[in-house]
Structure 1
């Protein structure tokens, strides 16, 4: 929200006060409390008729400093709150040196000089990161509404990323952003996944600990500042130090929650019925048989909305007219080696038998008058499950457990954004704060059911809405996009933005959702989709089976599905990194190359894991422009060497796209391509790319369905390359990338744990 009229004036109707000097301060062992006077005059006269802001400074974890700024402290706390994790073994250390007060947290410190005009400086290792200066701490009133306001300096060349899955320009500079859940598609400023956390290219990120609406002005009101405001009496924010983007995400996800590790089967190809298309069990069988006959390995079959009867979403009951034998059908799909997921949402239409049941039991959200809240958007007379009630959560969970007993493996948790604010929640939560937070309770409820029923490591969602902390319940997909190249590019922008907001796993509708893609769009989207964390063929009014487009689409789908399955050892290791450190599987270039300024704004290419550069093709004629960082890269599909740094403009057929292996990388290829579930270390092939002399590269291969994982160590010494294995079950091989492409695999005999090869140039 903008409060000023240019540099000098306030907008009409706005009255604002900002901390101008430190009226008093208290220093404790692990925290500071500052009282910020808002008057211009120091001394006794300045204490009259002048607001005072209470500013508390503390540290929940090393490298993280929190600031809580409060105007009036007497407001009742109604919640909800983000569940944050503090480091119990850590506390900030406060000290005073003359008029200068400081709170240090590992390499990060907040410093304030009580004799100078108000200014909170955040420093790391002697370098100023950001500061809250003249208008950095205050409040404003507009039309009777009270807003607490903070501003942090951006600095010259500072870029801002994140704030959730946003489809507007990738760097947020110059944008006004409202953190407010909305069902707005992928072509507007609205977002399904709103996260009040931004990351910068200057070594720090900022998390605003407020689950309701947070309004950001990112170099858009005061062009050197990031401003955020909430309609409240208090705001709490955390400055999170890196210095690298990966370290920022590590600390941020340690605070808000790490992503869970999805099951291996979820990394294979998913096929959906699509949304409003006609389908029954015969349709499903035709699709799954068609994929098998065309040798396209399928891992998951998904039933979208109309597995239930029209007007009865959700009643969690199969439509008997089209699926008369759901248990038998699910069993027959399982016999084909498939997992089964079904669509759900948190809304209960009036025609559903669960509406009367939920109303009678008090499990539906009510108005202030005590009536069940209803409207006709989406489903006629629909109501909303009140997930603030433990009893309502268990009631909803019981309906899902019945489906799991039928053999269902996972749920697409759609919607969760259109949450009213004129209602009363059973736990007394503030409706404005609950609007964004509702999705957290919804997805957590469903994920917990899956964990309880299927066990740790077997739970997976396909979720559309999320807020801070939602990364704990993967996977998330990009929502409703058009079937165009433009929509494909905006989807990628959103996914990279979400990854920089702490989410490790992300997907999108291959081919687009609205409309029907041209064969060219479909084939290019297939390439992109199968080089994503998770891969799902899904549409709205048209099917997404590849033979609906042309025979070449079948071939492209087959080749890239099998490529992804062979990359399972590599991808599942990247997934473990997401679980352990919060580093996303699909990574914006700035995340891997923070010291290369050319990478900072890039949003049409990405790193898949730490070692594969992917540049999807967004044009009808196959032309793509992409940037290659420094070093000798290798095209994974052709073995061609590509040298950076520099931009390249090339044209690719539908059998290829820029897919480059990083200099010095070792990419493990699995022995199977018929699915992602197998013993990943058995028969693995290591592709070695331009190793640097004297540098050891460690490659970890997860166990998968095998008994053990393996660790490979690769070291070049002059003209020789030595690879040693720890825990490898045998039968592995090594391939060297040379100036003329990939060489022949060199097999390692059963039981051997080392091999030395001559370098191929």
Structure 2
């Protein structure tokens, strides 16, 4: 044995000794269907702790017991002082989903992802606003790596020499079966750290596993009713008078509005930020916010966390700042209690106490040349890399706790998030602006326990404006963001009637949408559901042959057909967005019969259909027996104590039921039991005209209930 081999052998021994081997007994069951394996000593900070995630054990333990879903003999973990390598088995037919907010594709098999919080740069490489290290298998299990470090995930993209099921070897010169991407039987995760937790979930179906993943974080967020209405972000330089005039324009044009966002100009300095009202544009902020509240409109304020030298917060926060500036502002270390208290005391006095309803937390996501570098250090000892991965979580958690303490629900926006965020009342957005990719991101959000809005900013023509508006009205936050363009919903008069129509449809569907979010809160069911989570969805994501090109595709790579342009919104609504220029599109209908939302007419069953698209409407389909509760068109979300007429629609020929949820829509009193669950049911086959049965509680905001059977 030469000197080189002796050194290599010694290094391997050190790695193996440090690891100690992944013993079967080291997997500790946390709840029904949840197991955890801890590598090294518990880290000072990880994703779930940063988000304040507390598992909902009662909900997790409900239902039939499940077994550990992976072959433990095929799990291998090696650890050195500063690096962990995790190998997890992957079967031949498995497809993998998740790994955060990616924009181009849904299926992860055969790809590599470098998971790092960053502004999305146009490629699905793992650098994104929510690089959630959770993946879901088509076999019905999921894996979360609870670590605040950067990490690289090879999703069946690397073939190991010691593999027991290596792919066949072909000669590219002579065999058409040659593949540029040979299939691997392992997911490998590389973490440049000495500590991590592997958490495995088994719900036996993909949807149940996502539910368990969300419940392990505590369950999904339940927004206020006004948060699910319509929001508009005003131009950044507008004054109080101009904002109030805009609100009057919404009223005049009969367009719904529940909260309005003020962009950087509300401050007397931004980039870096002061968090202080500009006395010229907003001389009486308390009066301004109160005037909006009297008109049924909430106020949301833009911020980024980098504090300007002229700000009143600067000196108190300076001892808790990192070593590097962002836009010449200090970066507070919000892992520290003292820093959090300074910010929250200031925000309470200057914003919360005058009635501000929430925040838009901007620029906590990158780019590398803007954010603090990995060379930065922070007073708490948290590394720069860890701080980058959790900063969005820390900000969300801090603000959410403050509003919870005041018994007011909030709902805002954030540019960076991660695992653990399911309970936090924030929706992701970004400056990238591609309609198709926004829908793919919306679909991927359903795998990862985060919320995303395909916000509308501006468009080249009326058709595009309408199509974007139709999509955003079937997302977690319906928003026009006019911070720079100043566009209004009526800026394209040729399609304004249709734009108004879909916004009003959003308002009419609030009972359905609110109940869908209640299902997220109680059961972990994502409100936006990828088709891969739908029971009986039979469409295969086929691999299509690539086209050989000596520059564009020199390895003749095949192309995977992703299902990334349709999704479920709640249990009963299938949404099929339309993009500019399309006059038709295909829709894949899952198992069972499906009906057109608008007419109740039969659409198809477990098949691919081609539909002609109408400019005025976004294609919507309801499953057989589906029940959709609706209210009348309105300009603002329902207020506490308001009694509304409820119309309940039934579709198809089969019987069905729907669990309608209600509470005051604003406070956290539902945590004390102040809510109601009402079962709506109907069965046309036995002549049922529709029934309402109170299951739980008494808070019910509907004075009358009528039924409409959409299918003759």
Q: TM-score over 0.5 for the alignment? A: yes
Residue in structure 1 matched with residue 359 of structure 2 by the alignment: 411
Unaligned runs of 5+ in 2: 1-6, 160-183, 366-370, 543-561, 667-673, 695-699
- Between the two structures, name the one with larger relative contact order (CA 8 Å, sep ≥ 6): 2
Residue in structure 2 matched with residue 714 of structure 1 by the alignment: 681
Select which of 340, 346, 354 maps to 1:399.
Answer: 346
Residue in structure 2 matched with residue 463 of structure 1 by the alignment: 414
Question: Counterpart of 1:383 in 2: which secondary structure?
Answer: coil
Select which of 497, 504, 510 maps to 1:555.
Answer: 497
> Are 2:15 and 1:64 equivalent residues in the alignment?
no
Residue in structure 1 matched with residue 394 of structure 2 by the alignment: 441
TM-score of the superposition, structure 1-length normalised? 0.77
Q: How many Å separate the matches in 1 of 2:15 and 2:329?
A: 50
Residue in structure 2 matched with residue 363 of structure 1 by the alignment: 320
Question: Counterpart of 1:507 in 2: which secondary structure?
Answer: coil
> Are 2:418 and 1:478 equivalent residues in the alignment?
no
For 1:14-58, what per-residue CA distance to the aligned partner results, in whole angstroms no more than 9, with x for missing partners?
A: 999889xxxxxxxxxxxxxxxx995xxxxxxxxxx9984364221
Q: How many Å separate the matches in 2 of 1:708 and 1:432?
A: 42
For 1:646-669, what per-residue CA distance to the aligned partner results, in whole angstroms no more than 9, with x for missing partners?
A: 223333232112111111111111
Select which of 116, 137, 143 maps to 1:200.
Answer: 137
Residue in structure 2 matched with residue 390 of structure 1 by the alignment: 337
Q: Which has the larger radius of gyration?
A: 1
Question: Counterpart of 1:247 in 2: which secondary structure?
Answer: helix
Question: Counterpart of 1:435 in 2: which secondary structure?
Answer: helix
For 1:381-420, what per-residue CA distance to the aligned partner results, in whole angstroms no more than 9, with x for missing partners?
A: 1210110211110111122112122221111122223354
Select which of 662, 673, 691 maps to 1:724.
Answer: 691
- Do the aligned partners of 1:669 and 1:686 also contact (CA within 8 Å) in 2? yes
Residues 1:444 and 1:50: Cα distance change in structure 2 (over 3 Å): closer
Residues 1:89 and 1:161: Cα distance change in structure 2 (over 3 Å): closer
- Do the aligned partners of 1:618 and 1:624 also contact (CA within 8 Å) in 2? no
Cα offset, 1:625, TM superposition: 2.4
Q: How many Å separate the matches in 2 of 1:577 and 1:58?
A: 28
Select which of 526, 534, 542 maps to 2:485.
Answer: 542
> Are 2:708 and 1:735 equivalent residues in the alignment?
yes
Select which of 680, 685, 700 maps to 2:647.
Answer: 685
For 1:696-716, what per-residue CA distance to the aligned partner results, in whole angstroms no more than 9, with x for missing partners?
A: 524424245699746244342
For 1:509-557, what per-residue CA distance to the aligned partner results, in whole angstroms no more than 9, with x for missing partners?
A: 2246xxx443222110100111112111004531230222x21332122
Residues 1:519 and 1:14: Cα distance change in structure 2 (over 3 Å): farther
Q: How many Å separate the matches in 1 of 2:193 and 2:335?
A: 22
C-alpha RMSD over aligned residues: 3.2
Residue in structure 1 matched with residue 381 of structure 2 by the alignment: 428
Residues 1:335 and 1:37: Cα distance change in structure 2 (over 3 Å): closer
Residue in structure 1 matched with residue 465 of structure 2 by the alignment: 522
Residues 1:130 and 1:607: Cα distance change in structure 2 (over 3 Å): farther
> Are 2:197 and 1:236 equivalent residues in the alignment?
yes
For 1:104-127, what per-residue CA distance to the aligned partner results, in whole angstroms no more than 9, with x for missing partners?
A: x94213xxxxxxxxxxxxx4xxxx
Q: How many Å separate the matches in 1 of 2:55 and 2:9?
A: 37
> Are 2:443 and 1:506 equivalent residues in the alignment?
no
Q: How many Å separate the matches in 2 of 1:430 and 1:544?
A: 41
Cα offset, 1:343, TM superposition: 0.5
Select which of 624, 647, 650 maps to 2:608.
Answer: 647
Cα offset, 1:635, TM superposition: 1.7
- Do the aligned partners of 1:300 and 1:339 also contact (CA within 8 Å) in 2? yes
Residues 1:520 and 1:185: Cα distance change in structure 2 (over 3 Å): farther
Q: How many Å separate the matches in 1 of 2:121 and 2:515?
A: 32
For 1:263-291, what per-residue CA distance to the aligned partner results, in whole angstroms no more than 9, with x for missing partners?
A: 1111111011145xx42234323322222
Question: Counterpart of 2:351 in 1: which secondary structure?
Answer: helix
Select which of 109, 115, 119 maps to 1:183.
Answer: 119
Residue in structure 2 matched with residue 162 of structure 1 by the alignment: 98
Unaligned runs of 5+ in 1: 1-12, 20-35, 39-48, 93-104, 110-122, 124-128, 368-372, 739-759
Residues 1:637 and 1:242: Cα distance change in structure 2 (over 3 Å): same
Cα offset, 1:307, TM superposition: 1.2
- Do the aligned partners of 1:565 and 1:673 also contact (CA within 8 Å) in 2? yes
- Do the aligned partners of 1:634 and 1:737 also contact (CA within 8 Å) in 2? no
Q: How many Å separate the matches in 1 of 2:513 and 2:586?
A: 25
Cα offset, 1:564, TM superposition: 1.0
Select which of 57, 78, 82 maps to 2:48.
Answer: 82
- Do the aligned partners of 1:680 and 1:701 also contact (CA within 8 Å) in 2? no
Residue in structure 1 matched with residue 571 of structure 2 by the alignment: 610
> Are 2:519 and 1:577 equivalent residues in the alignment?
yes
Residues 1:718 and 1:184: Cα distance change in structure 2 (over 3 Å): closer
Cα offset, 1:473, TM superposition: 1.1
Residues 1:715 and 1:471: Cα distance change in structure 2 (over 3 Å): closer
Cα offset, 1:207, TM superposition: 0.7
Select which of 284, 289, 307 maps to 2:243.
Answer: 284
Residue in structure 1 matched with residue 165 of structure 2 by the alignment: none
Question: Counterpart of 2:629 in 1: which secondary structure?
Answer: strand
> Are 2:662 and 1:702 equivalent residues in the alignment?
yes
Question: Counterpart of 1:524 in 2: which secondary structure?
Answer: helix
Q: How many Å separate the matches in 1 of 2:513 and 2:83?
A: 45
- Do the aligned partners of 2:46 and 2:146 also contact (CA within 8 Å) in 1? no
Q: How many Å separate the matches in 1 of 2:59 and 2:687?
A: 47
For 1:220-251, what per-residue CA distance to the aligned partner results, in whole angstroms no more than 9, with x for missing partners?
A: 11322211111123443122101122211222
- Do the aligned partners of 2:147 and 2:195 also contact (CA within 8 Å) in 1? no
> Are 2:601 and 1:628 equivalent residues in the alignment?
no
Q: How many Å separate the matches in 2 of 1:17 and 1:687?
A: 68
- Do the aligned partners of 1:148 and 1:233 also contact (CA within 8 Å) in 2? yes
Cα offset, 1:262, TM superposition: 1.0
Cα offset, 1:726, TM superposition: 2.5
Residue in structure 1 matched with residue 146 of structure 2 by the alignment: 209
